[in-house]
Amino acid sequence: MISRVAVLGFGSSGQRLVEVVRQSLSHADVMVYSRHATEVPGVQVTSRLEDVSTFQPQVAVVAGAASDRISMVRALPDQTMALLIEKPLAVSYESGLELARIIRDRRAFCQ
């Protein structure tokens, strides 16, 4: 059972995804990472990627700026086995390959 979900990025997509997670996995603890942390009722919010790692999410939704996605995925603990990454996946072909290598090395499922 999924008990911890992190949403990295809290723009319009991140906000929608938090609501989907809360409705679909109402039993799960949810943490939001945002550089511009704001209060979200019933959700832990942080502006520090280190906090996301400490939270130990089983699932992570990466919805922040495409230019920040590699650092966001790197900050996730190895135990995070499922990733949903919003499009675009990366800002360049090279960064997309790097992101794919990170995900492959962790043996994570990515969609």
Radius of gyration of the chain from Cα atoms? 13
For residue 40, the cross-strand partners are 43
pLDDT(109) > 90 = no
pLDDT(7) > 90 = yes
Work out the number of other CB atoms within 10 angstroms of the CB of residue 75: 18
pLDDT, the chain, mean: 91
In tens, the pLDDT along 21-31 reads 999 999 999 99
In tens, the pLDDT along 66-85 reads 999 999 999 998 888 899 89
The tokens for 76 are 């996730």
Q: Write down the pTM of the prediction.
A: 0.91
In the block, tokens 């949810």 appear at: 30
CB burial of residue 26 (10 Å; 0-12, 13-18, 19+) = exposed
Average pLDDT score over residue span 88-95: 92
Confidence of residue 89 (pLDDT cuts 50, 70, 90): confident
Per-residue model confidence (pLDDT) at position 107: 83
pLDDT(111) > 80 = no
